[in-house]
Amino acid sequence: MAITKILNIMESEGRNPASHLKNALEYIQNPDKTEECVLVGGINCLPDTAFEQMEETKNIFHKTGKRQGYHVIISFSPEEKVTAEQAMYVLEHFAKDVLSDDYEAVYAVHTDREHMHGHLIWNSVSITTGKKYNSPKSNWKNHLQPITNKYCDELGLAIMPAEYSRNPKNISRDKWEREMSMKEIILRDAKMCAYAAGNVEHFKYLMKRLGYVFKKDAWMEVQAPGFRYYHKLAKLDEM
C-alpha cells in the first residue's frame, strides 16, 4: 500500500525564483539515498541537467515566476516488504501516466529510511503547450492516488483504502480517520515535509500548506471541528 502526497514548489525570494525547485531536484537525487543514483530516472529530460532544461522551458514561454513545479511523494507501508525495484516501477509508471510527454520530470526512490518511498518532481510549465500544470483540490483524490493504486495492484501490493479512490472498496474515510491517531497523522505529514524541505523555513511553509499552524517554542497546532490538538515538533534531523 502506498500513500501519495502532492506539494507545490513555489517561487523563492532572491535572484532566482526557481531556487526551491533546484534544491528539491538536488535533494531527491542524493547518491546516499538512491544507491549512488541507480534509482533515479527522468522523463523528457536528463536528471543531471533537469534544472537547466526546466529553466529553459520557463524562459521560452516567459513563465519564470510564481509556481515553479510540483513534488509528489509516494510512501509505501513499512508493513509490506516493498523492494526498490517495485517502488521504482510504481514511481516510473505513475510519472508517465500523469505527465505523458508534456512535462519535464525527475523521479527517484529513496532507500535510506525504514519505509520505502519515492519522489517525483516536475516542471510547472509544459514543454508542448507552455501552459502551467493545474492541480485542483480534487486532483489527488480523483486522479493521483487512484493511479498509484493501479500500479500497486499490478504488483500485488495492497491499495489505499476507499476514501482515496474513485470506487470505494474498503472502509469509509470517517472510519479510517477514527482508527488513526492524530499523532500518526501529524508525524507522517511532518516526515513527508521534512523530506521535501530545503531548510527549516521551507519545512514550515510546506506544513502550513497542509493546514498546520505553528506556535511558540516549536509547538504545532492542528485545529479541526470539535477539537484542538497540540504536538511538539522534533528536530528535522530526527524525522
Q: Residue 83 CB: number of other CB atoms within 10 A?
A: 13
pTM: 0.69
Q: How far is CA 133 from CA 30, 122, 125, 141, in A?
A: 26, 9, 6, 17
- List of residues 6+ apart from 127 with CB closer than 8 A: 44, 57, 101, 102, 103, 104
Q: Which domains does the chain have, with CATH numbers?
A: 2-179 (3.30.930)
pLDDT tens digits along 191-216: 777 766 667 777 777 777 777 777 65
pLDDT tens digits along 151-171: 999 999 988 764 544 444 445
- Across residues 54-71, what is the average pLDDT? 96
φ and ψ at 41, to 5 degrees?
-145, 170
Task: Identify the CA nearest to 160 among candidates 70, 95, 74, 72.
Answer: 74
pLDDT at 162: 46
C-alpha cell belonging to residue 72: 509528489
pLDDT tens digits along 25-59: 999 999 999 999 999 999 999 999 999 999 999 99
pLDDT at 181: 56
pLDDT tens digits along 121-131: 999 999 999 99
Cα four-point dihedral sign 80, 84, 85, 91? positive
Task: Identify the CA nearest to 7 among candidates 122, 116, 156, 110.
Answer: 122
Q: Residue 230 pLDDT more than 80?
A: no
Q: Is 47 in a helix, a strand, or coil?
A: helix
